Structure 1
Amino acid sequence: MRSLRFLFSFDGRVGRSAYWLGLLLPLMLMFIVVTAIVPPLAFNSAVLWLSLLAAWPALAIGAKRCHDRDRSGWYQLVGLVPLVGQILLLIELGFRRGTDGPNRFAGER
């Protein structure tokens, strides 16, 4: 139950390692499913549906990482700015330390 909350809840905070793990595991699972199970003719629609299913956990984990950086989850919209926004978001969420102690979004991690 805790892992479902981790993947689907927008509340709380996560550190850098949990953020990367939370992003990479669903992507690896999606890759395995698409390459091993999906027939070639259904490839495009399967990738679309699996991408949409993977978007919710990615947004939830990203929001929790934003919270750890003492930012709103809406900060992820910076990634919609081509190239510059994506690089900034990668640095901000993927590599910078979270705030020490409790912040306005949650207590200690």
Structure 2
Amino acid sequence: MKSYMNVIKNYANFSGRARREEYWLFWLTNLVIQIVLMTIDGAVGTGQAFFLIYSLLVFLPSLAVTVRRLHDSSRSGWWILIALIPVIGAIAGLYFMVVDSTPGKNEYGPNPKGITA
């Protein structure tokens, strides 16, 4: 939950770097919240109202943490657009999110792990 809250607090911070842990724990927590909201929507009969509102609220933080995660592996945030390419884009995007941090400082800042080259 701490990683989730850190991402929410830095909702518009597109600079710097994000560790794999921060990125994946945010997405895991996000997935659990979305499942709970879809269940509530189904039980209450609101269509997808709660789910859609929540999805809109976390869109910008999701984008920001993804860009920071790309920065952590020395890639520009514009690489996020690779996801627009069917199949290959999804595979490449997943690889970018799983790859380890660039050791030491890069052009986007110091290593969030504190490890130097």
| Band the TM-score falls in, shorter-chain normalisation | 0.7 to 0.9
Q: What is the aligned partner in structure 1 of residue 57 from structure 2?
A: 53
1:58 deviation in Å?
1.3
Q: What is the aligned partner in structure 2 of residue 96 from structure 1?
A: 99
Matched, 1:75 2:79: yes
The two structures, once aligned, show a CA RMSD in angstroms of 2.0
Higher relative CO (CA 8 A, sep ≥ 6), structure 1 or 2? Answer: 1
Separation in structure 1 between the aligned mates of residue 77 and residue 21 of structure 2, nearest angstrom: 18
Q: TM-score, normalised by structure 1?
A: 0.82
The percent identity for this pair of structures is 31
> If each structure's helix is expressed as a fraction of its own residues, which one has the higher value?
1
Worse overlay, 96-105 or 25-34: 25-34
Paired residues in the alignment total: 106
Q: TM-score, normalised by structure 2?
A: 0.77
Judge conservation of contact 2:101–2:111 (CA < 8 Å) in 1: no
Q: What is the aligned partner in structure 2 of residue 14 from structure 1?
A: 18
**Regions of 4+ moved over 6 Å:** none
What are structure 1's unaligned runs of at least 5 residues? none
Matched, 1:105 2:98: no
What are structure 2's unaligned runs of at least 5 residues? 113-117
Separation in structure 1 between the aligned mates of residue 37 and residue 51 of structure 2, nearest angstrom: 10
| Structure 1 pair 16–76 and aligned structure 2 pair: CA distance change class (3 A) | same
